[in-house]
Structure 1
Amino acid sequence: MNNPDLSKKLLELNSLIEFSQLINSNLEIEFILGNILLSLMGRMLISRGMILIKTSSDKTNDIFEICSVKGINRKEIINKKISCKFPGEPVFKIEEIKEPHRVFEENNISIFFKIYFFNKLLGILCLGKKAGNRYPEENEIIFIETLLNISSTTIENSLKFAEIKNLNKELNEKITKLNSLFELSKVLNSNFQNIEEIIKLLRYTLLGNYGIKDLIIFSKYRSDSFQILSKNSSIEISDENLKSLNDVKERIFLTPEHKSDFFRFLYEKNFELVIPVTNQRNEITSITCLGKKLNKTEYSVTDIEFLESILNISVISIENSILFRESVEKQALEKELNIAREIQLALLPETIPEIRGYQISAVNKPAMHVGGDYFDVLKLTETKYALVIADVTGKGTPASLLMANMQSAVHSFLKFFEDEHFNLIDATQKINEVIYSNTSPEKFITFFWGILDTEDSSFNYVNAGHNKPIIFRENEILYLEEGGLMIGIMESGFPYESGKVKFNSGDVLLMFTDGVIEQNDTDQLEYGEERLIKTVRDNVNESTDVILNSILNEIENFGYGMKQYDDQTIIILKKL
C-alpha cells in the first residue's frame, strides 16, 4: 500500500537532487541565483522574488547587492546596493524588520530567508506571498531552507570563482598592456613593416589599453598638405577641413566652444583629443584625433604621456614605411583559436548513426577557426532519431561558446528521451529559457530539430526561426516552417508550435544554415535558395553523399576567389 507522505518526501528528495545537479553544472552566479528563484517560485506559486548577496558591512548595517530578480522590473533594481539591518532569525517577515528598505515595500516582498555558508552570511532570499496572499507553510519553509543549504556551497564557490575571474581580468589587462607595449616596440623597431599593419596594431593598442575606438590619422606623408591616412569613422572630411589642420601647433582638448568649425564638428562626432606628432626637425608631420574612451573617463596626464609616446613612434614608423612583423600576441591568439576549434569539433558528431531505410549525410564548414553553427544526429531508440541544426549569431569564439551551450542543452533534454513523456514543444521552450538566461540580449540562435520515427516514417519537428528545411518530393517541394521565435530572444510569453510530416520513398530532406545561401561571388551576388534548390533537384535521384558533394562543389565554384564569410552546415536525409 502506497504511503502518500513517503512518496511526497521521495519526490522532494529527487527534486532537490536534480536541483543540486543543475546549479553545480555552472559556476556563474546569475545562473545559480536565477535557478534558485525559478525553482522555488514555480514550486510555491510565488510571483515575485529577489536574492541579495552580501558585499560588505558598515557600523550598523550590512550592505547587499541585488543580484537576481524574478517577476520584478529588473532594469530598475538589478545590481543596486542596499543597506539594511535584518533580524537575527534565519527566517523572518517584513513586519519584523525595524526599518525595511523601500525596495521591499515597493515590490511587495514579504518573507526573507538567510543564506548561510557554515556561519558566514552569504545573502538573503526575498520572496513575495504565495497565490491567494498566503505565506509559505511550515513544510514549505523547511523545503526552502533545505534547498538554500544545498545551494550555499555552490554560491560560495561561485563568489570565489567571480573573485578569481576579476583578479585574472585585472592581471590580464596588465599583461595585455605590457604585451602591447612590447609587441609595438618590437614591431616598430624592426626593419620590415607595412603601413596597414602598423595602423592595425596601433588601433588594437588604443582599444585594448584605453578603450579608444575612434581614431583619425592625418599625415603630410610625402606631401605638403595634410591627407587622411586612416579613419574608422564614416564622417565626411572636406579639403577645407584639412587646410585648417595647418593651424594646429599643440595638443588640443576639443570643446563645443572651440573657435575652429572643424574641431567643433569633430567634438560633435564624439572626438575629444587632438595630438600633433613632430619629426626630428620638430616639424608637425602628422595629427591624430582620438575619440572618447568607452568607459567615459577623462584623459589623465599619464594617459596623454603614454599616448603621445605611442603615436610618435607609430607615426614615425608609418611614414618610414617599415614592414610589420607578426606579433607574439597574434600567434598566441592563433594557438588559442586552434585549441577552441578542436573543442568545437568534439561537440559535433564524430560519426553519424546509420538509419534503417534512410541515407543521411552532413557537413560543417566554419568561416573562421571556430564557428557558431551546430548540427547533430542522435539515436534515441531503435526506431527514433533526433535531427538538429542551429546557427548562432556571429562567428568566432563567442559564437562557438554559445553553440556549446546549445549542444549541452539539447543533449541534456534528449538524454532522458522517453516516447510517451517527451514533448518537443515543451523541450524547445525550456531550451529557450536556458539560453535566454545565460546569454546577452543581442545573442540569439536560429534552431530546428525534429524526431524521425522510422516505424511509421513520421517526422515531428519545431522550427525556431531557422532557415526552413525543404522536402523534395517528386515534382514538388515542402517547407518545414511550423515553430516560433528564435532561441534566446524572449524568455517566455510566446508559444511554440510543432509540425509533422510523413516521408515517402524517394523523399529528400535538406537542412541548412544561412551561410550556405549567403555565399557571395565576385559581383557580390548571393548563391541564394533558388540555386540551392536547383542543385538538389538535379541530383535528387542520387545518394545523399552525391547530393551533398554537388552542393559543396556548386558553392565553391560560385564563390571562387571570395572568402567564406559565414559558417556553412548542411544535413541531407533521404528515404529509400
Structure 2
Amino acid sequence: MPRINRLERELHLRQLQVRRLLQMTQAINNNVAADDLFQMYRAFLRSELGVNEMALIVRESEHDDEWQLATSIGLDEAELATAIDYSTDLAEIKRPGLIDRYDHPLFSHFEHVVPVLHKERPIAYIFIGSFEDEDNMFERVQIITTISNVIAVAIENKRLFRRQIEQERLEADLDLGAKVQAMLIPKELPVNDFYELSAIYRPKLGVGGDYFDYREFVDGKLVFCIGDFTGKGVSAALLMANFQANFHTLIRKRGNLHEFVTEINESVYRITDGERFVTFFVAEYDRESHLLRYVNAGHPPAVLVGENTFQLLDKGTTVLGSIDRLPVLEVGEVSLPPQALIVTYTDGLTDLQSTAGETFEEEILHQFARRQHSRSASSFNANLLDKLEEFRQGEAYPDDLTILTCRIFGD
C-alpha cells in the first residue's frame, strides 16, 4: 500500500478513535447504563474496526477471583461463561501481548490480550481474536486498548458508586435502627428494698438484636425478660418494637406465664411467618411468696446463685416465632433462698474470645457468679465487665452483648 494511502487510513482510524471517545465520554457524563455503554463499545469494534472475536471481562466485586463477561463478539457467551472463573490465569497477565495458550478454554478463542489497570490493579481484561482486515493491526489494537480503558474505568466507577450508595444506605439503616432501639431499651432500672435490676448493653454495630425489659406491678410482683432477635438493623429494630408492644400489652393481662408465652409466640409468628425468631427468657418474681416463675425459650440458661444455692434456669420451650404453636411449654418454679442473684445474658457473652482464641465459656461465668453472689446487681455487673475486659485483652466483641442481672434482697 502506498505511503499516502497508509497515512490516510491511519488518519481515518485516529479520527474514528477521537469521535468514539467523544461519544462514549458524553454517554458516561450522561450516566448512560452499563449495558448501553457495552452496546456502543461492541458496535464500534465490530462495524468500524472489523473485530471478529472479542471478550471484555470486568471485575465483579472487590475480590480478585470474581469476574464476569461484560460483552463479546463472535462467541457463544454461554460457553465462554464457564471460563470466567480462571482467576489464577488472569492474574498472570501483567501486560498486553499475544496469546500462545491454545489449549486453554478461555484463551484459545483469541490472539491478543490487554489488561486494564486502575491504580495499578486489574479491573478488566480485553481479549481480541481475528480482524476482517489484517491491515493496521497495531493501530487497531491501540485504539481498542484506549477505548476499552475508558469503558472499563467508567464501569469500575459505576460499581464503586453503587457500593458507596449501598454503604450509605446501610449506615442510614443502622442509624435509624439504633434510634428506634434506643427508644426500646429501658433508660432506668428499678432499685428498691426488695430487688434491684442492672444491665450491661453492648450492641456490636450500634444496633443489634438483643433486647431486655421489665414490668413492675402494684401487688409487688416484678417481671423481667431478655431476648435475642435474628437479624440486624432496621428489620431487627422494627421486630423488637412490635415485640416490646406485645410484651407490655400481654403482661398487663396478668395471666400466667404459660398463657403469656403462648400468646407472644403467636404474635411473633404472625409478623414473621416463621422466617425470623427470638430466643427469650422471662421471669416473674413474687415477693409475697418469694417464688420465681420463669420460661426459657431457647435462650442460654439463666444462673440462679445464693449462699448455698446454684441452679440453671433451663425449663421452658423452643425459640419463639419459628412455629405457630409451641409443642411443649413448661413453666419453671423456684423457691428462692433469702438472698439470691439471677444472671441472664445473650450468647454474645459466651462467644467472646481471648487473644489466644479461648472462649468465655459458661463455666467461667458460673464460677464467677458463685464468688460474687452476695454483691448488688450493679456491683456484680461492674466486676463482670472488668473480668470481660481482662479476658478479651483488646479483642473485639464478636456479637451483641447483653447481661441483665437481678438481685433479690428477700427479708
In structure 2, the gaps of 5 or more residues are: 1-30, 35-58, 69-83, 108-112, 127-147
The counterpart of 1:455, out of the listed 269, 288, 300, is 288
User: 1:353·1:378 contact (CA, 8 Å) conserved in 2?
Assistant: no
Of 459-468 and 375-384, the range deviating more from structure 2: 375-384
Tell me: CA distance 1:311–1:514, structure 2 relative to 1, closer, same or farther (3 Å): farther
User: 1:277·1:311 contact (CA, 8 Å) conserved in 2?
Assistant: no
Tell me: CA distance 1:511–1:288, structure 2 relative to 1, closer, same or farther (3 Å): farther
The counterpart of 2:242, out of the listed 393, 405, 408, is 405
TM-score normalised by structure 1 residue count: 0.46
Q: Name the residue aligned to 2:10.
A: none
User: 2:340·2:408 contact (CA, 8 Å) conserved in 1?
Assistant: yes
Q: Distance in 2 between matches of 1:506 and 1:310?
A: 73
Offset from partner CA, 1:104-156 (integer Å, 9 cap, x none): xxxxxxxxxxxxxxxxxxxxxxxxxxxxxxxxxxxxxxxxxxxxxxxxxxxxx
User: 1:249·1:276 contact (CA, 8 Å) conserved in 2?
Assistant: no
Q: Distance in 1 between matches of 2:157 and 2:165?
A: 22
Tell me: CA distance 1:278–1:240, structure 2 relative to 1, closer, same or farther (3 Å): closer
2:206 is the counterpart of 1:369: yes
Question: 1:449 corresponds to which letter in structure 2?
Answer: V
Q: Name the residue aligned to 1:343.
A: 180
Q: Distance in 1 between matches of 2:332 and 2:176?
A: 39
Q: Distance in 2 between matches of 1:522 and 1:440?
A: 40
2:366 is the counterpart of 1:528: no
Tell me by how many angstroms 1:354 deviates. 3.2
Q: Name the residue aligned to 1:137.
A: none
2:327 is the counterpart of 1:494: yes
User: 1:241·1:262 contact (CA, 8 Å) conserved in 2?
Assistant: no
Tell me by how many angstroms 1:338 deviates. 2.9
Tell me by how many angstroms 1:391 deviates. 0.5
Tell me by how many angstroms 1:242 deviates. 5.7
User: 1:248·1:276 contact (CA, 8 Å) conserved in 2?
Assistant: yes
The counterpart of 1:380, out of the listed 217, 225, 248, is 217
Q: Name the residue aligned to 2:116.
A: 278
SS of match in other structure, 2:304: strand
User: 2:309·2:337 contact (CA, 8 Å) conserved in 1?
Assistant: no
2:395 is the counterpart of 1:547: no
Larger radius of gyration between Structure 1 and Structure 2? 2
Tell me by how many angstroms 1:244 deviates. 9.3
Tell me by how many angstroms 1:564 deviates. 1.6
The counterpart of 1:479, out of the listed 282, 294, 312, is 312
Q: Distance in 1 between matches of 2:309 and 2:317?
A: 25
Offset from partner CA, 1:420-473 (integer Å, 9 cap, x none): xx0211221221111112115442110111211111111111111011001112
SS of match in other structure, 1:515: coil
Tell me: CA distance 1:339–1:397, structure 2 relative to 1, closer, same or farther (3 Å): closer
Q: Name the residue aligned to 1:538.
A: 371
User: 1:544·1:572 contact (CA, 8 Å) conserved in 2?
Assistant: yes
2:49 is the counterpart of 1:216: no
SS of match in other structure, 2:248: helix
Offset from partner CA, 1:179-198 (integer Å, 9 cap, x none): x99xxxxxxxxxxxxxxxxx
User: 2:93·2:115 contact (CA, 8 Å) conserved in 1?
Assistant: no
What is the CA RMSD across the aligned residues, in angstroms?
A: 4.3
1:35-50 paired onto structure 2 within 5 Å: none
Q: Distance in 1 between matches of 2:165 and 2:123?
A: 28
Tell me by how many angstroms 1:340 deviates. 2.7
Tell me by how many angstroms 1:539 deviates. 1.9
The counterpart of 2:302, out of the listed 444, 447, 469, is 469
Offset from partner CA, 1:146-167 (integer Å, 9 cap, x none): xxxxxxxxxxxxxxxxxxxxxx
Tell me by how many angstroms 1:535 deviates. 2.3
User: 2:177·2:233 contact (CA, 8 Å) conserved in 1?
Assistant: no
Tell me: CA distance 1:276–1:409, structure 2 relative to 1, closer, same or farther (3 Å): farther
Tell me: CA distance 1:468–1:383, structure 2 relative to 1, closer, same or farther (3 Å): same
Structure with higher RCO (Cα < 8 A, 6+ apart): 2
User: 1:356·1:454 contact (CA, 8 Å) conserved in 2?
Assistant: no
User: 2:61·2:67 contact (CA, 8 Å) conserved in 1?
Assistant: no
Tell me by how many angstroms 1:409 deviates. 1.6
Q: Name the residue aligned to 1:188.
A: none
Q: Name the residue aligned to 1:334.
A: 171
1:54-453 paired onto structure 2 within 5 Å: 203=61, 216=66, 260=104, 278=116, 286-287=123-124, 311-313=152-154, 330=167, 333-417=170-254, 422-439=255-272, 441-453=274-286
SS of match in other structure, 1:436: helix
User: 1:217·1:286 contact (CA, 8 Å) conserved in 2?
Assistant: no
Q: Distance in 2 between matches of 1:312 and 1:440?
A: 44
Percent identity, aligned pairs only, is: 28
Of 456-465 and 389-398, the range deviating more from structure 2: 389-398
Question: 1:312 corresponds to which letter in structure 2?
Answer: V
Question: 2:396 corresponds to which letter in structure 1?
Answer: K
1:7-26 paired onto structure 2 within 5 Å: none
Tell me: CA distance 1:371–1:246, structure 2 relative to 1, closer, same or farther (3 Å): same
Q: Distance in 2 between matches of 1:285 and 1:566?
A: 35
Tell me by how many angstroms 1:509 deviates. 0.8
Tell me by how many angstroms 1:533 deviates. 1.9
In structure 1, the gaps of 5 or more residues are: 1-177, 182-200, 205-212, 219-234, 251-258, 264-274, 290-306
Q: Distance in 1 between matches of 2:288 and 2:276?
A: 38
Q: Distance in 2 between matches of 1:440 and 1:391?
A: 18
The counterpart of 1:569, out of the listed 379, 382, 402, is 402
Q: How many residues align?
A: 309
Tell me: CA distance 1:262–1:460, structure 2 relative to 1, closer, same or farther (3 Å): farther
User: 1:433·1:492 contact (CA, 8 Å) conserved in 2?
Assistant: yes
User: 1:376·1:388 contact (CA, 8 Å) conserved in 2?
Assistant: yes
Q: Distance in 1 between matches of 2:355 and 2:393?
A: 8
Tell me: CA distance 1:564–1:533, structure 2 relative to 1, closer, same or farther (3 Å): same
SS of match in other structure, 1:516: coil
2:344 is the counterpart of 1:503: no
Q: Distance in 1 between matches of 2:192 and 2:308?
A: 25
Tell me by how many angstroms 1:393 deviates. 1.8
Tell me by how many angstroms 1:546 deviates. 1.1
Tell me by how many angstroms 1:358 deviates. 2.1
SS of match in other structure, 1:388: strand
Tell me: CA distance 1:309–1:519, structure 2 relative to 1, closer, same or farther (3 Å): farther
Tell me by how many angstroms 1:562 deviates. 1.9
